[in-house]
Every structure is written in C-alpha cells, then in structure tokens.
Amino acid sequence: MLRFLVPGIIAIAQPALSARKSAYFTLSIPRSGGLAMVYVEHFPSQMAYKERRRAHSLARAVLRRRQTQASTVPYLAPGEALRGKRRLCQDKTLTETEAAKGPPIVQVAREWLEACEAGRAERPPLEHATVQFYRGNVETHIRPQLGHLPIRSLTPDAVRAFRTHLLQESGLARISAKKVLATLKTLLGYAIEEGLISLDPAQKVKIGMSSRDRREMQIHSKADMSAILAAAARLRASRHLQVQRTWERYLPLLHVLVYAGLRLSEVRGLERDAVDVVSSVIVVRQRADKSGRIGSPKTRQAHRRVHIPDDTTEILKNWLTSHRHQIVFPTQTGHPLEAEEIRKRLWLVVQKEAQVRVLKLHSARHFFASRQIELGCNPKELAALMGHADEAFMLQTYGHLFQDEETEAKAKARANALLLVSPCGDNRGAAGICIRPKQFFGRLIFSNPTTKVAP
C-alpha cells in the first residue's frame, strides 16, 4: 500500500519544492487509529538534512533502550552478590528469568580460564600446559554439550547425561572421559567460589576405574635395557658423521633417563648448575613444559637430589664441555629439546636398533623404580627418589614390585601348607590320606582305597 502512496505524495509536493534550489526533505507517515498522516519537511541544505536524520536515529535508539530496560534487569557480574553493585557485563542484558538462572556455562568457562592464566585469590597462575589442557576439554566436550545452558539450570541429571555421552558417544577412553569430567567439576568449583551457584550438581557424578581398566605396567628387563644402552653406544661410535654427532647428545640423555629416573620434562629443563660432577648428584629444581617454558617442578616433592653412577657422571662431564649453554641438553639455539624429538629420534630409534619390544618413554622411569626396589630401596626412600607427592601413590604404582626373596619363600611355604592331599608320588597328601586317580564317567576323580567305588 505504501509503495503506491509515496509516488503520489511526492507528485503533490513537487510544485512546492520546484521553487527551491535544493530538495532535501523527509517523509514520515505515523499511524494512529487507522488514520495515516503525512508530514513533509524541507531542509535548506544537505548538512541540515543529515543533522536531522542523526537526531531522529538517536531518539529512536533511546526509545528502544528505554523499552528494553522496562522489561529486563541488569546482568550480575561474577562475584557480585544479589544485593551488591549491579552492572552490565559486555553490553548484554538478560530477562528476569535468564538472570535468575545465571550466565551461560560457556561464559563462566571463559572467565575461569582467564582466572587460571592470571591467578586468583591466593592461588598462583597455572602452567601454560595445564591451561591448554583445560581449554581443550572445554572447547571439545563441555562447550558443545553444556555451553548453552545457564549455570544455575545445570542439574545432576544433565551432568549424568553428559557422563553418558563421554563414555558411550565421544569415543574417549575411560581415563580420558574421567579427566574431562574432572575439568567440569573444577569449573563448577570456580562458580561456587564466585557465588554463581551454591551447590555442585556434579558432586555425586563419578567415573570409576576398575582394575580391569588399568593397564599392566610394562617394563624392560635388565637384558633388554642393557641391549638398549649398548645400541646407543654403537650409534655414538658410528662412522656416519651426522649420526655420531646426534648421539653425542642422545647418549648422555639416555643415561640420565635410565639411571636417574627423571621425568621427561625434568630432563629437558635440566640446567648445567644442577649437575654436580664431583658428588655424582643431579639436583631437580626446574622443568620445561611442552612449549619449552621453564618453570617449577611438577610438585613440591619433585625438588630432590638423585645420585647417579660414576660412569654416567663421566659421560655428562664430557658432554657439558662440548657446549656453553645453560641447559644441559639444548638445541643449537640454547632452548630445551622438543619432547617429540626425544621420543621419536632417540627412544624409538634405539629400541629398534637394539631389537627389543617397543615401549613408551616413561617405561625408562619405571625401570629405574624397579631396579631401586630390587636393590632394597624401601617405599619412603623410593617416593623421595621418584619425586612422588606421597607414599600411597608410589605404593599404588609400584607396590606389586616390592617382593623380596624372603617374602617369596614364605609365600611358597604357605602355599604348600594349604595342600590336603597329593595326587602324585606315593599318593599321600599332607593329611596322610592315600588316594589314587580313577576314570569315572569321563571324569578324573581321587578316591580312598578303603572306600568302595563302582567300576
């Protein structure tokens, strides 16, 4: 209707406008009670016309804002109490129902990650690798499934459904699903601290790990590890100049992994001053994360002193004289070696060269622990050597290795004492009952000769 009306209005107003040199005008048709009123306003210049348009736009924006504020309430920023100061967060307004449910989980997760990077309250900033791990879990699993939900509308049923998704639909291993759920619980703990929620809906939602889900610890035997060290020595003495130069660095690194039991990050971050060539001691006081950043060790107990064999000390001493970098095992620019380089170019290559089964690099640390246990190291001493947080974790990991010869002898004696009858030898068991085997309806049975048995 309007597109047919406007040309007619312009035609009517044309005689009045033709006498003017400029023809800047506005046309508005307000509707009231079904009656359309037409207003034509003329402007002497283009500047006046633009000013009028700008004033109209500003007035309409103010009117829309007032209408919106009449039906909405400001969003409470994280950490602000309901009776405290209120402010708009990121120029967003929520309805009363949405404000009662709180901000969406994806926004809380974003603020939580920023707090992890910057540190909050009395807690220091988390390491870059830890923040990246949390961010990956949020972006890959939490945000697609729960990110749209308001934080206060998250229920235990929704968390249980999320757990079912992780275990059945995401394709994750059970241990990985457990880590994602732990990330969600840490996020909800931050929401509780900030006053966004009062109860944790994921408190009773867990992913258990049975003994069948735990993989058996794989450790190289002493013969295999000897073959690995011999293969590394052969590569070091190679006639190929490039291989020889490469293994001049890899051989001492391998000795530190095998004979000191350090974590890979601790070996990569090992500094020159931490190697005492006089006392044959390595002092662990820093580590390098995946991106090569130098920081504190994994735990407080990871600060430790580890004695190494004299031959390993001599190898390290010769290696340290070949460069002047502060890092013991640096790249050509003085930065820590990449973890993937050590795994693929050192550990994988030397295992294939030694023709032994290929295990993960962390198995070298397990081998160090098994050798210490074999040589009589008690649980408390081993926990200090390995840098574990407590003895309980160490026993959970290596407890099955604490079996000395005396314990084995006692166990064997108890097993023999359990025997009541013996089907071999003179057919007399520990209880003095004489028995002999008979075939009875396809079953092998043992009977007392004084007892009559049907043939």
CA dihedral 135, 139, 141, 145 (to 10 degrees): 130
Is 236 in contact with 254 (CB distance < 8 Å)? Answer: no
Could you tell me the CA-to-CA distances from 389 to 122, 266, 289 in Å, in that order?
Answer: 21, 16, 19
Give the Cα separation of 402 and 394 in Å (integer).
Answer: 11
Give the Cα separation of 443 and 385 in Å (integer).
Answer: 55
Q: Which residue numbers in the chain have pLDDT < 70? A: 1-48, 59, 61-100, 121, 211-216, 390-408, 419, 421-455
Tokens describing residue 154: 């998250």
Is 375 in contact with 222 (CB distance < 8 Å)? Answer: no
Around 236, how many Cα atoms within 13 Å sit in the side-chain half-sphere?
A: 16
Look over the chain and give the mean of its residue pLDDT values, rounded to a whole number: 76
Residue with structure tokens 């309430």? Answer: 73
Give the Cα separation of 374 and 25 in Å (integer).
Answer: 97
Global confidence as pTM: 0.59
CA dihedral 147, 152, 153, 155 (to 10 degrees): 100
Is 230 in contact with 354 (CB distance < 8 Å)? Answer: yes
Contacts of 323 by beta carbon, 8 Å cutoff, 6+ apart: 330
> pLDDT tens digits, residue range 53-85?
777 777 676 666 655 544 433 333 444 433 333
pLDDT value of residue 251: 94
DSSP-derived secondary structure letter, 376: T
Tokens describing residue 65: 């804002």
pLDDT value of residue 66: 58
99-193 in CATH: which number? 1.10.150
Domain parsing of the chain, residue ranges: 2-71, 99-193, 222-401, 419-455
Looking at domain 222-401, does it have CATH number 1.10.443.10?
yes
Host H or E run for residue 436: strand 436-440
Give the Cα separation of 385 and 379 in Å (integer).
Answer: 10
pLDDT value of residue 182: 94
Give the Cα separation of 246 and 252 in Å (integer).
Answer: 11
Nearest to 153 by CA among 111, 103, 110, 195: 103
